């Protein structure tokens, strides 16, 4: 058989098998028996074994990629994978609906159409198709970067390796939820138990654990499935005007979309679907923890935009929390990063909403006394939003006669420093500062966390050992740790130590917002840190700002302003900041002059590839500050394509559309020539 005839046979078999995969896994309407399917599949395998040079990545036999990898690499999401805000009842949903109307300046009596969908309880993923072929996939991660799980995604049979149809997008990013069906979960655990292997606690953990296997052959044996619920990046295609129409389009392309959806024109319509699903959810072969309502019209979504980490045009309606009863064994006091001393109830372990709960925070003494919690009490525990364990109420009829009222200790349980409570604050605090072991450890854990300096591998156990040896006291000490010291710690081999040293070095290249957040200033979270970066773009200006000046910054009030000023008035904190910079921590300090601030007004710009002096997200932010609009796809309206290394397919499209292309250096030279940006 010649290569031409063989290739033709392979293509015919591949297309037939893909079609039957779609009918079986997506349409739930198989047209052939399992035996006939297996015969075709084995025939294709036989041909490919005989002619291995003709095997392609999109072959149905290639649902398993390469062998086990040593570790997961990361993939940066072109568009952030955002989370959703939550509502728990009709009144909160009405508040959301009112906010949508207000922002769109639409009278509340005028209806807005919502697409109603199920909220699946699995693992969110991003899957990239290029010219219809699956090329890469990643977990949500921190919303900006996720783990590369391409090989494992390829093992899920309901994920097409090649999209159906013609005139496909050149780039298509699918957002979806990988889950383990309840029937598959039950069968898998039964087999694992019979073989004396580890069983999973719940389907969500089973899906997440299966997707993160280093060996795709293991993932292939797990009964995983996926529902696609949206699109991220798309290029080379004009999408329909409504979200519901986009979901129909995804199904036409061969992607698995859940059929349990509805369109609602008001809160009543959303609630009707909610009650319908509540009554029917026990029939589903998958876990859901609520519903999602999305403004259906894409143009209205664009107008509403985003707030912090969530879209303004969508909301999750969570199901009522699940409750169980247990007994308080003890009430301990934990010390946090800022010295807050928090009462924590130790309870008899109880299984609630898919996890075993043994600790429940009581937030503060006011909360503890309001609920009148005592040791020995029988209490009701629930997982609010199916996530956070919460003590609902005390069953006082079962209280022991000698149960004692709980009081806040006078000294810190960790360092014996005095505990103070400032007037008008609900929280009591240890006065030991970073001399308190608990505060020091929590501070360092915050500094190395993913959303701060992101030092991978520098975990809690490592920090605790180095603190106990008095090797690190403040964050700047981390940048002086060497391989020999790491290897002297428990369970740290040479390879692990080298990986940690590498992660420490990589963390030195950061953003100003992440650096500010990592410092642990009270009440300065991610969003506030980003606001400060966008407003000042310069650390010295932030450090020298007065409380009055800081209060002029959007979203910063008097308390946060006071916390920032107090932090930078502390000589120890200044020393830490100076040492971090001296030890190589850097970020880009691009600022925009006010006189020519809008030089890029009405300019449409597309970015492709990676850049040496700046991250893609930073570059997008700077362009927006200059008045430009950053889009993900090229069109006749595009003014410039900024080209970095490894640019991909956009170069060819830009040439076809005669769009001006600028390198990183050329773009900044253009801006400097216009006098718009000062590199400080």
- Which sequence positions are flagged as catalytic? 119
Virtual torsion, Cα 243, 248, 254, 256, nearest 10 deg: 70
C-alpha 148/C-alpha 145 separation (Å) is: 9
3 state SS for 504-561? HHHHCECCHHHHHHHCCCCCCCHHHHHHHHHHHCCHHHHHHCCHHHHCCCCCCCHHHH
C-alpha 460/C-alpha 466 separation (Å) is: 10
C-alpha 636/C-alpha 160 separation (Å) is: 32
Residue with tokens 């007004």: 601
Signed CA dihedral, 469, 471, 475, 480: sign only? negative
Among 263, 276, 403, 385, CA closest to 329: 403
C-alpha 143/C-alpha 81 separation (Å) is: 5
Whether the CB-CB separation of 577 and 611 falls below 8 Å is answered with: no
Q: Reduced to 3 states, what is the DSSP secondary structure of residue 6? A: helix
C-alpha 640/C-alpha 605 separation (Å) is: 5
CA 497 to chain centre: 27
Whether the CB-CB separation of 520 and 446 falls below 8 Å is answered with: yes
The pair of structure tokens assigned to 201 is 């606690």
DSSP string, 631-674: ESS--TT--EEEE-BS-TTHHHHHHHHT-EEEEHHHHHHHHHHH
The pair of structure tokens assigned to 412 is 């810190």
Query: Can you give the length of the chain in residues?
Result: 680
> Angle at which helices 267-280 and 90-104 pack, to 10 degrees?
140
Within 10 angstroms of residue 117's Cβ, the number of other Cβ atoms is 25
Among 337, 338, 678, 433, CA closest to 541: 678
- In DSSP terms, 330 is beta-bridged to 346
C-alpha 146/C-alpha 350 separation (Å) is: 32
Among 662, 679, 670, CA closest to 618: 679
List of long-range contacts for 388-396, beta carbons under 8 Å, 24+ apart: 389/352, 389/357, 389/359, 389/360, 389/361, 390/321, 390/360, 391/345, 391/360, 391/362, 392/323, 395/325, 396/372
User: In angstroms, what CA-CA distances link 366 with 111, 275, 335?
Assistant: 43, 36, 17
Among 456, 310, 335, 325, CA closest to 382: 325
Ramachandran region, residue 184 (left: φ > 0; alpha: ψ -120 to 50; beta: rest): alpha
Instruction: Tell me how many degrees the CA angle 190-32-246 measures, rounded to the nearest 5.
Output: 85
Among 307, 244, 347, CA closest to 85: 307
Whether the CB-CB separation of 254 and 164 falls below 8 Å is answered with: yes
Residue 13 has, within 13 A of its CA and on its CB side, a CA count of 23
């Amino acid at each position: 058989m010649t290569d031409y005839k063989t290739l033709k046979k392979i293509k015919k078999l591949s297309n037939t098998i893909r079609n039957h995969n779609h009918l079986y896994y997506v349409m739930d309407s198989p047209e052939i028996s399992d035996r006939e399917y297996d015969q075709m599949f084995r025939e294709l395998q036989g041909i490919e074994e005989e002619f291995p040079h003709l095997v392609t990545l999109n072959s149905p036999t290639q649902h398993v990629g390469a062998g086990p990898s040593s570790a997961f690499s990361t993939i940066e999401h072109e568009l952030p994978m955002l989370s959703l805000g939550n509502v728990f009842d009709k009144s909160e949903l009405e508040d959301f609906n009112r906010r949508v109307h207000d922002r769109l300046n639409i009278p509340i009596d005028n209806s807005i159409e919502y697409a109603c969908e199920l909220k699946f309880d699995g693992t969110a993923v991003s899957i990239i198709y290029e010219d219809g072929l699956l090329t890469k996939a990643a977990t949500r991660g921190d919303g900006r970067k996720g783990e590369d799980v391409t090989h494992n995604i390829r093992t899920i049979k309901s994920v097409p390796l090649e999209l159906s149809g013609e005139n496909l997008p050149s780039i298509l990013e699918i957002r979806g939820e990988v889950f383990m069906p309840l029937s598959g979960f039950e069968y898998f655990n039964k087999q694992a138990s019979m073989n004396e292997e580890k069983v999973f606690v719940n389907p969500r953990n089973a899906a997440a654990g299966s997707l993160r296997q280093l060996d795709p052959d293991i993932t292939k044996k797990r009964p995983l499935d996926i529902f696609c619920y949206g699109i991220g990046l798309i290029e080379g295609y004009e999408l329909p005007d409504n979200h519901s129409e986009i979901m129909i389009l995804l199904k036409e392309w061969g992607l698995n979309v859940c059929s349990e959806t509805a369109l609602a024109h008001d809160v009543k319509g959303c609630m009707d679907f909610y009650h319908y699903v509540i009554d029917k959810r026990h029939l589903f072969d998958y876990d859901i923890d609520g519903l999602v309502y999305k403004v259906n019209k894409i143009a209205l979504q664009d107008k509403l935009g985003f707030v912090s980490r969530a879209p303004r045009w969508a909301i999750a309606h969570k199901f009522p929390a699940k409750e169980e009863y247990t007994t308080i064994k003890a009430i301990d006091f934990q010390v946090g990063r800022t010295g807050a001393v928090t009462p924590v109830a130790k309870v008899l372990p109880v299984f609630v909403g898919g996890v075993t709960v043994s600790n429940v925070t009581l937030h503060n003494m006011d909360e503890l006394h309001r609920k009148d919690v005592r040791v020995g009490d029988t209490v009701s525990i629930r997982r609010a939003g199916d996530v956070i364990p919460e003590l609902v109420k005390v069953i006082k009829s079962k209280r022991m006669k000698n149960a004692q009222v709980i009081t806040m200790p006078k000294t810190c349980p960790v360092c014996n420093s005095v505990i103070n409570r400032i007037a008008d604050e609900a929280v009591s605090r240890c006065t030991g500062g970073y001399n308190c072991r608990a505060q020091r450890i929590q501070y360092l854990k915050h500094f190395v966390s993913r959303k701060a300096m992101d030092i991978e591998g520098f975990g809690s156990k490592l920090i605790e050992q180095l603190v106990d040896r008095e090797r690190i006291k403040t964050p700047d000490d981390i940048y002086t740790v060497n391989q020999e010291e790491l290897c002297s710690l428990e369970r740290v081999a040479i390879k692990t130590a080298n990986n940690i040293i590498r992660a420490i070095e990589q963390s030195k290249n950061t953003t100003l917002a992440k650096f500010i957040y990592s410092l642990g200033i009270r009440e300065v979270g991610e969003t506030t840190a980003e606001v400060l970066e966008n407003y000042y773009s310069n650390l010295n200006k932030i450090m020298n700002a007065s409380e009055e000046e800081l209060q002029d910054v959007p979203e910063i009030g008097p308390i946060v302003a006071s916390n920032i000023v107090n932090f930078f008035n502390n000589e120890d904190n200044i020393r830490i900041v100076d040492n971090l910079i001296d030890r190589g921590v850097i970020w880009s300090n691009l600022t925009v002059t006010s006189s020519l601030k809008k030089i890029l007004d009405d300019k449409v710009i597309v970015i492709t590839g990676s850049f040496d002096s700046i991250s893609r997200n930073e570059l997008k932010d700077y362009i927006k500050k200059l008045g430009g609009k950053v889009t993900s796809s090229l069109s006749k309206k595009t003014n410039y394509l900024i080209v970095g290394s490894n640019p991909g397919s956009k170069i060819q499209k830009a040439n076809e559309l005669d769009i001006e292309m600028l390198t990183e250096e050329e773009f900044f030279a253009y801006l400097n020539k216009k006098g718009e940006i000062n590199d400080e």
